[in-house]
Amino acid sequence: MANKYYKDNREFIKGLDEAGLLVTVEQEVDWDMEMGAIVRRVCEMKGPSPYFKSIKEYEGFEALGAPLATYPKLALALGLPPDASIPEIGRVYTERTNGAPIQPVVVERDAAPCKQNIITGDDVDLFDLPAPMVHDGDGGRYLATWHMVVSREPDSGDVNWGMYRQMVFDEKTMTGPVLPFSDMGKMFYNKYVPRNQPMPFATVIGMDPLSGIAACAPSPIPEDQFTGMMMGEPVELVKCETNDLLVPASAEIIIEGEVLPGINMLEAPFGEYTGYRTSPREPRAVYRVHAITYRDRPIVAVSNMGIPTDEGQLLRSFSLGLEMEKLLRSQGIPITGVYMLPESTHHLVVVGTKPAYSGIASQIAQLVFGSKLGPWFHQVIVVDQTVDIYNVNEVIHAFSTRCDPARDIHIYRESAGTPLNPYASPADRKVGRGSKVLFDCLFPLDWSRADTPILVSFNTVYPQDIQDRVLAQWTNYGFSE
Ligand SMILES: Cc1cc2nc3c(=O)[nH]c(=O)nc-3n(C[C@H](O)[C@H](O)[C@H](O)COP(=O)(O)O)c2cc1C
């Protein structure tokens, strides 16, 4: 049975508006930093998404900023009320993505809104699209900040949708970093490059929100099928004009072409998801563009990476944490939950466990750091079931009172990391290396009961009947709820 969801970007915009999570900006805005600055401020205020109706020099184009940068917008995208709690949003995501993969369906070209305008060959000019200059100091205009790059593994045929930022280099070329441990990095650098074979790609801008969530998620399931699982029915795709890749039929803009082997072009700097400008201008992957197709009056998506919270931080934290939870549960580790804080720019994860045996925190850290997810984050805090992992105050309290600096902090040196890690040394950043740490916030199991400190809280040191009476009488005492 289909779940409640938004079939395309435009339905989602309507949904955001109805939920009070959208501001329609009628006044003309400049693609050169003004639009970016508005989106940045919205992210920092956790505010409503700006829907730009008029972009300077780009008559006929619109833009949506910060489409999914808060939990209420994420809840809405999953068909939930905007005030759904974080654990509830996570439960729904996990339930839907634990089922059987749902294969996409292919629709006819005539039924695909993304084919309303088709530009190929010499007519292609990326500067015809309103790529924003997102931040001052960026190395160029970034067309792809909230998008997905479609590619296909040449041997297995598996499809990958992922977000890999793309800067406009010239009329027909984009450049961007493709990290070697990402799914697209593995297929491009391990398969296409050694064969000196160009890799067909399609960049999708303005897709429906669930496809965007899937493109961010580090799931082993191909994202076209993963999106279907979240929808509860197949995602509708259409064939590209100049290659055999399939793209969401109702997306706003499709940019088709090939990633060229054996050549790099300069890209960056760029304001990044960690909240810093870290990576230098360097030669990066080259996307040669052969065609652009788009809906009438297309709506470009604009994300603005910087200090929390942007959609990359929110959604990568959300799905990295929940994929970690799936991994730990699949190994039979007795955990109560996993929460990755978006404000940590998906660097810090909190794992709740029922400590059944000594060394469980190390086992958890080694598993998650050693997984495919490992390069993306650096700190694990393990707490017991008395701590609400979603409550930062409780996590800080546990960290400050249960983690012995000499006994409970475990450092893993020379681990796989990312070149964007701000605290890694310049030399470590160059090769994507960094250290990681476990903060074990569990009291040792071999301490006697009498020696183990007792948590003093309303929930733990009063008999149930006293708690019930106080709660029942709370407003009668004169307090508000
Ligand atoms: C907004 C955004 C921008 C990203 N930019 C890049 C990028 O430029 N290069 C890269 O390798 N990964 C980038 N990532 C991470 C990949 O999207 C991520 O590796 C992929 O989508 C999912 O993980 P997988 O490749 O392990 O399946 C970005 C993620 C987000 C959310």
pLDDT digits (tens, 9 = 90+) for 356-409: 999 999 999 999 999 999 999 999 999 999 999 999 999 999 999 999 999 999
Residue 216 alpha carbon to ligand 1 centre in Å = 6
Alpha-carbon gap, residue 392 to 86, rounded angstroms: 13
Q: Whose alpha carbon is nearest atom 6 of ligand 1?
A: 164
Alpha-carbon gap, residue 4 to 233, rounded angstroms: 10
Residue 198 alpha carbon to ligand 1 centre in Å = 20
Residue 49 alpha carbon to ligand 1 centre in Å = 22
Tell me how far CA of residue 284 lies from CA of 36, 266, 386, in angstroms: 23, 6, 47
Tell me how far CA of residue 54 lies from CA of 63, 117, 294, in angstroms: 8, 20, 17
Write out the two tokens for 191. Answer: 């398969």
Residue 465 DSSP SS3: helix
Asked if residue 481 has pLDDT above 90, the reply is no
Number of H helices, E strands in the chain: 12, 22
Alpha-carbon gap, residue 381 to 361, rounded angstroms: 8
CATH topology of domain 9-302: Pnp Oxidase; Chain A (2.30.110)
Rg for the chain, CA atoms, rounded: 24
Asked if residue 1 has pLDDT above 90, the reply is no
Mean pLDDT of the chain: 97
* pLDDT tens, residue by residue, 219-276: 999 999 999 999 999 999 999 999 999 999 999 999 999 999 999 999 999 999 999 9
| Top mutation candidate among 143, 165, 181, 373 for ligand 1, by most atoms within 8 Å of CB | 165
B/e letters for 6-30, b = 16+ CB within 10 Å, e = fewer, are bbbbbebbebbeebebbbebeeebe
Residues having CB closer than 6 A to ligand 1 are: 162-165, 176-179, 182-183, 185, 215-216, 218, 303, 312, 316
Q: Quick one: what percent of the chain has pLDDT higher than 70?
A: 100
CATH topology of domain 331-440: UbiD C-terminal domain-like (3.40.1670)
Which amino acid type is present at position 475?
T
Residue 174 alpha carbon to ligand 1 centre in Å = 16
* pLDDT tens, residue by residue, 40-90: 999 999 999 999 999 999 999 999 999 999 999 999 999 999 999 999 999
Domain boundaries, given as residue ranges, for the chain:
9-302, 331-440
Residue 150 alpha carbon to ligand 1 centre in Å = 12
Tell me how far CA of residue 419 lies from CA of 146, 370, 371, 441, in angstroms: 20, 18, 18, 29
Q: Whose alpha carbon is nearest atom 5 of ligand 1?
A: 164
Asked if residue 420 has pLDDT above 90, the reply is yes
Nearest C-alpha neighbor of 42 from the set 299, 314, 251, 297: 314
Q: Where are the alpha helices (DSSP H) in 293-421?
A: 311-330, 360-369, 392-402
pTM greater than 0.85: yes
